[in-house]
Amino acid sequence: MTEQGAPGAACDAELDAIGLDCPMPLLKAKLELNRLNSGQVLKITATDPGSQRDLRSFAKLAGHALLHEEVDDGLYRYWLRKA
């Protein structure tokens, strides 16, 4: 699901989706990715557990690479490389 050796902290843009419920983290991620160039990395931080399912599916369907994801004390972090 995630690429091995992905730089967990490296990103070109960050999205704070803390406190937002489904589907807002995904919608805001889509909007932010639209602003990035191909190959750039977006870091998303969310508190909605549903963001795992949504962002995994979105990355797969849209062709983006889910470089890394982590869960820590109710915070969900994702690094997506734009296709």
Residues known to be catalytic: 22
In DSSP notation, 33-63 reads HHHSPTT-EEEEEE--THHHHHHHHHHHHHT
SS3 category, 13: strand
Strand partners, 76: 46, 71
SS3 category, 65: strand
